[in-house]
Amino acid sequence: AQSSTDRPWNLGPGWLRLLLACTAPILIFCSKSSRSLKRLAITLTLFSSVSFALSLGVNLEPGGLRIWSFLCDWLPGMAQVRSAFRFAIFFQAGVVLLAGAGIDLLLIMTRSAFSSMPRIRSGSIVCLVLLFVFESWSGRTRSVLVPRTDQISDWAQYLQGRVQAGEGILILPYVAGYAPDDFEPTVRWMIQSTAAGLRTANGYSGFFPATHYILQQQLGQGLTDSLIATLRSKNIRWIVTMDSDSAIEADANGLLQWHWTSMTGECRIFEVTGAGRAVLQITTP
């Protein structure tokens, strides 16, 4: 997988292609193109625009209109879409086709404009090709450690016999960013907890519920007593810390009781013992 720090738009079609795709309809309608080519440009533009809008999923709420929810209620099959972001594939396909039309028109215009200057014409084509090669050049890749599903981690083994039915686990530190690389530890913990049959409040999906952002914001303020009470009211009884900062913060909270520490000392398990009364409710609007 490519690091998002190397290429911030890993799944994008590329800025040059996007520029050509935006320019192509203008060139087509400003030139003496055939009617069929104009219809094709309109079709691809609408196709790309709709695909891009659908790829936003539940985030597509212009003016407060919940378009995705409406489509799921009235359009058969939409409610079964697991990841709305996959509509971006159709967006990229439309962009590439429009970019191809843009290149074709640019080549035609270059031939006619520089018909008496073959060197300039050839140089323009070479520069365009080099730009595509430069933009498409792959970034640095790195290996990602994937936990084995046939082996249960030590912290999960400890919790297996102690977590009761319906109880959840919160693993800290909770993801603070939004890039795919930020969720790498979360995905690793998801695999480990799934192998042990444990439920976690952490997760990664194409659809993030509103509770994810609320919990993310509250944890940014620390493990406050009100947050601990809210977690307990949501039947989250166990907190697993995977770094020293989270462990120190959890150890300092009187509503949490230490239970277990790994051999390396990196992982610690705490139980939410204070029932309290939830002050901040995590609810889905």
pLDDT tens sequence for the chain (285 residues):
333 444 445 556 677 888 888 888 888 888 877 888 899 999 999 999 999 999 888 777 888 888 888 888 888 888 888 778 889 889 999 998 998 888 888 878 777 776 667 777 677 778 777 777 777 666 666 676 777 778 889 999 999 989 998 899 999 999 988 777 788 899 899 999 999 999 999 887 766 777 888 888 888 888 988 889 888 888 999 999 999 999 999 999 888 999 999 998 889 999 998 643 333 333 333
Contact between 135 and 16 under an 8 Å Cβ cutoff? The reply is: yes
pLDDT of residue 281: 34
Contacts 24+ apart (CB under 8 A), 62-71: none
Tell me which amino acid residue 226 is.
Answer: S
Contact between 262 and 245 under an 8 Å Cβ cutoff? The reply is: no
pLDDT of residue 20: 84
Rounded Cα–Cα distance for residues 23 and 17 (Å): 10
- Residue 276 CB-density burial (10 A; 0-12 exposed, 13-18 middle, 19+ buried): middle
